[in-house]
Structure 1
Amino acid sequence: PIDLSMDGMWVNYSGRDRPPPLSLRELTDADLARQAVAQERLAELLASGDSTAIDAGVAASTQLDSTALARQAEQEAKEKETQLSAKYLALAEVFLFAFDKPDSALKYYQTVVEKRTDSTHVARALYSLAYVYREFKADTVLADTVLAQLIDLFPETAHAEGARKKLGLELMKDRVDSAYVLYTQAEEAFFKHNDINRAFQLWDRVAIRFPQSEYAHKSAYAKAWHCEHTLYKLDDAIVLYQALVDSFPESPYAATIKPKLAAVDKVRGEEEAKQKAVADSVARLQQAVLDSTAADSLLNAVVLDSAAQSDTSTAERDSDVILPMDAQAIDEQVDSDTTSTPVREDQIQNESSDRPDSLLQESQQSATETDETQNDRDQADESVENGKRESNARPARPVPE
């Protein structure tokens, strides 16, 4: 059938690729922002004069508006389904109690259960179905089955509590919250008996045995808080705070702790940066010291090498000088020559008389050579002494061990 409303008229003509009229829906702020951006883009395209780009801009603007309207239409359809389920429940009660027509009431109750638009309405419909089966159809087995299904699907609702009462099960309000009991014992151990170790053990037990309970969050926070403010173990407190944020990110305690952990991370980062800067400075200083020591060692090695070369050259010059023999050594040499080679006196006299001039010349030449050799030796000793004085006067850096 054709829907003659404004929405229906647009739906009937939607197959002609027409954009949806903006007057049909009230756009949200986000939709209006997107529409403003699209209009600015379209104005730029119009100024450029490119017809192809203008058509593309119009299509993009239409698509944005269509997507927003589709989401809004889906939300409105869900709200209508919820309202319709409430009307089905009211109509079923009218058929059941006003007109005494349980079959018609069952039909509307089952419709609500099948649509499942709202959990509260579905739980109410299941409880009503069990009531009709038990009171009007006398089918207790089917009624108990429906009540059990209600407890499984919606255990926290008031209708599930009524189903437990009908089935003779333990009620939620009568159940003992073991997590609460353990948490209370931990507080009593700390505040009354001043036994913090016992309190920590009980808080750990709460977190391990009942991780989904709200007291698990409270126990974790209590441990971290007492580590910080009672035991003054800041490092352990930070670890426990971080564990609480990781394990229960949606907890209200996590929202309180996150700024504190962020501040701690900032301080630690600054401290690490300072330590790194100090370490780099020390490393550079050590390297500079090593470089300076190496330079001093090289300089000392050069000085020692120069001194050694000077001593070597002096020794070589000394070895090249022929030292004259003293008188005693000459006499000993003459005696040895005389002893080893005996010569007759007449032969010596003859030879002496034959070469008087040559012996005199040889004696004079030997004396001259002796004087020159002594002068060379004195000059060599003087140069060695000058070299040593210069070496001692030059400042030398100490050689490192």
Structure 2
Amino acid sequence: MASARPARRKTCDDSARAAFKHDSHADADEQVSGERYFCEALALLPVATLMLDERGLMTVVNPQASRLFGYERDELVGKPVELLVHALRFDSHAPRWADPLAMPQVRGLAPLDDLCACRKDGTEFHAEIDLCAFCFDGGNVTLAFVIDKTERYELCRQRQDLAHLTRVSTMGQLASSLAHELNQPLTAILSNVQAAQRFMTADPIDLAELRDILNDIVQDDYRASEVIRRIRAVVKKGDLEVVPLDLAGVMRDVVALVHSDAIVRGTRVTLDIDTALPPVRGDRVQLQQVMLNLLLNAFDAMNEVPPVDRTVCVTLKSADKGMVLIAVRDRGHGLTADKLDKIFKPFFTSKPQGLGLGLSISRSIIDMHRGRLWAENNNDRGATFYVALPAGDATTEDKSR
């Protein structure tokens, strides 16, 4: 009978191998579990999310992204992200997102708050994309969060259309006074032309007198074109144009626009402008709309005031914290406490023919310019409307636009 084989004794190497095998299985299980939980977490996010590898290939696509772009998950995994967002194109041999520290440079390459994305059916939409790079499973990956801005753009477009409607309505109120403003230089041009015709029949012709008449015609033509230019500037319809502005020049244009209306109403407008006023960044047409609305409201507030007291004081000066302050002060009867709370709400108006949208839209315009619009009663009489706007580079365009 064969003798029993002695039991093999475990060596340190055997124990190490077993422990390593156990740890390897544990690490693998842990890794699979971690990846599964990570993918499940991405699936629960309410925003479309794409996980990209170092070369921009999509490795994970959550259900929200599939619905947003109209693809099945398997149609996107392994494909370059530029299939969905063309602006995120890069060289396949030069990984752009290999280093998470390079993300600020990536952000500087494209305006990620306003990119054009493409669905499977070929339709395009405005998208806001936020990129977040980090290390995962031993490699560098990037999460791309995609937000459809279609509804936001539509809302912005409707708001711009409403603002344009109120501008056109305001210019309609000024139609008679603007006609008078335009008629003056046209009448002067006609008179000068008739005078020139008479001088042309003289013998000899007085060339010096004719030269003066022609100069007068040129100046009157310039006056008429300026009136038309101001009208067109206010009623112009277009996209928001944020540029550096001379606020004093904008205000002078508006005051010139209401000049004839002020004369008809027996109202005097005074301007007090700080000579060292810094520029602001904003949209000229929209800021003109705000100032025009404030001036006409000040005129209306003094309808019941004796003509001798009908004065509107407009002040522009620098304020604290890098702001420029505009104040439009009237000498009317002021505002009651309940009106101070309601005047900026939509459709609230104290005018018989008013739309109740002027101040509401004006406040939304100033909000978009990162400023503030409010009203206060004066200590003596009347009320003052204040507009505070950031000076210089303090104003930046809002992403929500």
TM-score, length of structure 1 as denominator length = 0.20
Q: Which of the pair is proportionally richer in helix? A: 1
Larger Rg: 1
Q: Which has the higher contact order (CA 8 A, sep 6+)?
A: 2
Q: Which of the pair is proportionally richer in strand? A: 2
